[in-house]
Amino acid sequence: MRSGVAIFPGSNCDRDIIVAIKKITPKAPLKLWHKDTEFPNLDLIVIPGGFSFGDYLRCGALAARSPIIRNIKNHVSRGGSLLGICNGFQILIETGILPGSLIRNKNLLFTCKETILEIQNTIKSPFTEGFQIGEQFKIPVAHNEGNYFAPKPLLEELNNEGRIAFKYVKGNNLDNNVSYNPNGSSNDIAGILSENGKVLGMMPHPERAINSLHGGTDGLRFLTKCIEHIVG
Amino acid sequence: MRAIVNISLKQGVLDPQGQAIQNSLSNLGFNNCNNVRTGKQIILDFQDNDEEQVFKETEKMCETLLVNTVIENYDIEIIKEI
């Protein structure tokens, strides 16, 4: 699989996702700089977490207007897969590739916690088709603006079209360290898909759950299946 | 010429900062105020002195970058003499 990781000034999870992808597939992802306007056709581009451009103006707003974004949009129209994690999700929202908005966490706290995600009944997507509906993952979040907000008609549309990839749920093994809906997001949304299912934006960090030392490997399980289905 | 962009959250959009400020105000004894909403202001200075041109350009800036129109409203104020 040919993949690339888009890096902006202030991205800080780029190395982590590269390590995760290298665990799954032998070919290391290309590092794409935010000013890059030429790179080969790829199967997957990941926009990693971090604080691109210091979160100035709005999270992801300045990154979403970077030169690389045009190429990322071309990648999407070619049918390439695109994954935005945390700040990457915020950037995808700001580009308009994914709809809605990510606003300040309801409790006003930067929240860094393990969450339980549950796979929803979605449209055909490489990011969900390797899983059973209702399958759960323990993956951490770490953000200040992860509260997914959208007007009611859009929320209904996302729900009816099967574009809610996963929701925060209570889970079966709830202990005190595991929180349910960490940010107050509408309908407990943790990740959404584009109309063609090829773009996923998610607040939780799968690359932070790829080693038992992290407290779990559900992120690796998640990414492995995604990559298998992207390669086809 | 100066353009001042005032950005506020749309009605119905949760403003936890505003709520936190209101809590603090109420702890300080300011109990008359029952709702606080926050916003931001962006000040832009132009060399151009054509008011209509400046307004139009500022509007375009708001729509393309300065404002997230999903959750925010804005208004533009033009000041001729800085």
Nearest CA in chain A to B9: A103
Q: What's the average model confidence in pLDDT over A107-119?
A: 93
**Listed range (A13-17, A91-95, A108-112, A128-132) with the worst mean pLDDT:** A108-112
User: Which are the contacts of B63, defined by CB distance < 8 A and separation ≥ 6?
Assistant: B69
- Please indicate whether, in this complex, the C-beta atoms of B66 and A57 are within 8 angstroms of each other: yes
* Cβ neighbour number for residue A138 with a 10 Å cutoff: 18
ipTM attached to this prediction? 0.84
User: Residue A43 in contact with residue A78, Cβ under 8 Å?
Assistant: no
Determine whether the interchain pair B68/A65 forms a contact, defined as Cβ–Cβ distance below 8 Å.
no
Choose among B17, B68, B70: nearest Cβ to A108.
B17
pLDDT band of residue A99 (cuts 50, 70, 90) is: very high
Looking at the DSSP assignment, which residues form a beta bridge with residue B74?
B7
- Give the separation between CA A75 and CA A91, rounded to whole angstroms: 16
Q: What is the pLDDT of residue B82?
A: 82
Calpha distance A92→B73 (Å, rounded): 21
Q: Residue A68: which pLDDT band, with cuts at 50, 70 and 90?
A: very high
Position A174 scores a pLDDT of: 58
Please report the domains of chain A, with CATH numbers, ordered by start residue. Answer: 3-231 (3.40.50.880)
Structure confidence by residue, pLDDT tens digits, A158-193: 999 999 999 999 877 656 555 689 999 999 999 999
Cβ pair A149:B71 closer than 8 A: yes
The partner residue sitting opposite B14, judged by closest CB among A61, A65, A106, is A106
Residues 165-194 of A with CB under 8 A from B: 184
Q: What is the DSSP letter of A159?
A: H
Nearest to A223 by CA among A143, A131, A146: A131
Using a CB-CB cut-off of 8 Å, the residues of chain A touching B20 are: 108
- Show Cβ contacts of residue A100 under 8 Å, excluding neighbours closer than 6 positions: A93, A148, A149, A150, A154, A158, A192, B70
Cβ-Cβ contacts under 8 Å between A and B: the total is 34
Q: Find chain A residues with C-beta within 8 A of B65's C-beta.
A: 57, 61, 65
Give me the sign of the Cα torsion angle B10, B15, B19, B22. negative
With residue B45 as reference, give the H or E element that holds it.
strand B39-45
Q: Which CATH code is given to the segment(s) B2-79?
A: 3.30.1280.10
Q: Which two tokens stand for residue A230?
A: 């992207």
Q: Which one-letter amino acid corresponds to residue A157?
A: E
Q: Do B14 and A149 touch (CB under 8 A)?
A: yes
The answer to whether A103 contacts B20, with C-beta atoms less than 8 Å apart, is no
List the beta bridge partners of residue B40. B7
The packing angle between helices A218-231 and A14-24, to 10°, is 70
Measured between CA atoms, how close is B55 to chain A, in angstroms? 20
Q: Per residue in B18-60, pLDDT tens? A: 999 999 999 999 999 999 999 999 999 999 889 999 999 999 9
User: Is B65 in contact with A100 (Cβ distance < 8 A)?
Assistant: no
Burial class (CB in 10 A: 0-12, 13-18, 19+), B67: buried
Amino acid at the residue A59: C
Question: Which chain B residue is nearest to residue A59, measuring alpha carbons?
Answer: B68
